[in-house]
Structure 1
Amino acid sequence: MKWPLKKILILLSVYYAYMIEYRAEIFFWVLSGSLPIILMGVWIEAAQRGNFNLNSVEFARYFFAVFQIRQFTNIWVIWEFEKEVLEGQLSFKLLYPFDPAWHHVARHIAEKMTRFPIAILLTILFFSLYPQAVWIPSFTGIIFCLITIVLSFTLRFLIQYTLSMFAFWTERATALQQFWFLFDIFLSGITAPLDVFPPMIKEIVMWTPFPYTVYFPAALLIGLPVNLVRGFFMMIAWIVIFFILNRWLWKRGLAEYSGMGA
């Protein structure tokens, strides 16, 4: 189905207006994602006492980059979708002439637009408090980082939206997300840059989707050495895999949902 630009803009404007109403709440959502800032202090102290591949300033830059990247790639679609299925709200969205997934995409993008001014203020505050961490990313680094943030958002959305499909068969699809998060928090680069991992472990992890949601964009932004071609290939490959899996589960789940009288 062709999507006219006017319809896309209307959908985004509706959800943006909705998010503006909850801008105070969004500010607290931003602060709730401060785990990288907390870990920054831990790793800075560790770098001063031990021998790692990164120094204290590089750790500060890395975790600040992680904090900012997570502001624009965090996803919560599984909680919304599970509620829609359990309460029957999905039935109304199925009446629209487009896939219900676009409602969730628009809501997430609108929320990211609301976060943008807060991200700028936090950037100014961070560099005011820690001026030695100031750096100027290369132009290519910025461009590649922006591209990877879009791909990271797409990948994280598809992963969580795919897990949410299990809401058609279980009342606790969010439990799958919580299980996935146990691996994600350690292997994506949130708790530590993969550069501190043993080389063999890092190589294995780089074949999974986890590092391409956080570590890879952050590494590009601060200038850490990464395999650019392999990184983009792996991101696109995992996006395709989860998209195919998502559509397969959606068709079977929708039949299950209709079978329950929806």
Structure 2
Amino acid sequence: MRVFGLNWRIIRALLSSQYAHMLEYRAEIALWALSGVLPFIMLSLWSGSAARAELGLDGVALDRYFLSAFLVRQFSVVWVVYAFEEDALLGRLSPYLIQPLHPLWRYVAGHLGEQLTRLPFAALIAALFFVIQPQAFWVPSLGGFVLAWIATWMAFAIAFLLQSLIASLCFWSEKATALERLLFLPFLFFSGLLAPLTAFPPAVRAWVQWTPFPYLIDFPARVLSGDPVNLAAGFAAQLGWVLLLLPLVLLLWRAGVRRYSAMGA
């Protein structure tokens, strides 16, 4: 915390202000929550496909996996690169840089405020899913829920650091979001959003596990749904990606701020 110049008083102020700000846009956030129904679309496609047996999941397990993928996605989605690029282009970044608070914490607080606002909408969608698919209803154990909660937070941390790394390129380019769109393609296919990782051939699966993408959706979704998963390997991989990305973000940020300052900001 000291590295970023943050204390608990500032944390409370940031979270309360950002949550109040997000409440003003709760109708828009409801639409964002509804726009994340891709896992349910994929569930309907896989349920009617003859290739469903290749997933290694029966009907109920498949329902629970895609519902879990939806919930994990709701609370790990990141948009910092878009907000940062807009702030840099409109000049809002300059006063942030001279304040005794690392600007990235503002975006962290904004994401957390949005997640709190999303919570009732995500719960409502999950409840509707159980009404339609009552056989898929389950209540995770306390230990399983805590592990899934930690895995989802780690997924959020990885996604935030990945986008922060790209956002730092705004110091050199006005279109860093174009790079984020390129990153979205492998995320879409390899994260588990379209299909569980078990759907891939073993050689592809072995390669994909060395990337951060399976630990953004597939791993936390499996933990939440109660599927067999190697917890030690999964959490170790998530922690490893956080420890790898964090110093890269800090180094690129410092280099970008020096260049930004040199331009007269």
Which band: TM-score by shorter chain? over 0.9
Q: Rate the CA distance shift 1:231–1:101 in 2: closer, same or farther, 3 A.
A: same
**Gapped runs of 5+ residues in structure 2?**
none
Please report how far the alpha carbon of residue 250 of structure 1 lies from its aligned counterpart in structure 2 after TM superposition.
Answer: 0.5
Please report how far the alpha carbon of residue 260 of structure 1 lies from its aligned counterpart in structure 2 after TM superposition.
Answer: 1.5
Amino acid at match of 2:40: I
Corresponding position of 2:120? 117
Corresponding position of 2:62? 59
Q: Write the distance in 2 (CA, Å) between the matches of 1:258 and 1:214.
A: 38
Please give the TM-score of this superposition, normalised by the length of structure 1: 0.96
CA offset digits 1:95-131 (Å, max 9, x no partner): 2111001100000000000111112111211101110
**Contact between 1:168 and 1:256, CA under 8 Å: does it hold in 2?**
yes
Instruction: Determine which of 251, 254, 265 is the counterpart of 1:251.
Output: 254
Corresponding position of 1:8? 11
**Contact between 2:140 and 2:224, CA under 8 Å: does it hold in 1?**
yes
Q: Any idea what SS the aligned residue of 1:153 has?
A: helix
Q: Any idea what SS the aligned residue of 1:19 has?
A: helix
**Contact between 1:62 and 1:218, CA under 8 Å: does it hold in 2?**
yes
Corresponding position of 1:40? 43
**Structure 1 residue 27 corresponds to structure 2 residue 40:** no
**Contact between 2:69 and 2:221, CA under 8 Å: does it hold in 1?**
yes
Corresponding position of 1:192? 195
**Gapped runs of 5+ residues in structure 1?**
none
Amino acid at match of 1:155: I
Please report how far the alpha carbon of residue 203 of structure 1 lies from its aligned counterpart in structure 2 after TM superposition.
Answer: 1.7
Q: Write the distance in 2 (CA, Å) between the matches of 1:246 and 1:211.
A: 21
Q: Rate the CA distance shift 1:49–1:248 in 2: closer, same or farther, 3 A.
A: closer
Deviates more, 1:136-145 or 1:229-238: 136-145
**Structure 1 residue 233 corresponds to structure 2 residue 198:** no
Amino acid at match of 1:95: I
Percent of aligned pairs with the same amino acid = 44
CA offset digits 1:202-261 (Å, max 9, x no partner): 122111100001000001111222211111111011111111110110011111111221
Corresponding position of 1:147? 150
**Structure 1 residue 95 corresponds to structure 2 residue 87:** no
Amino acid at match of 2:234: G
Please give the TM-score of this superposition, normalised by the length of structure 2: 0.95
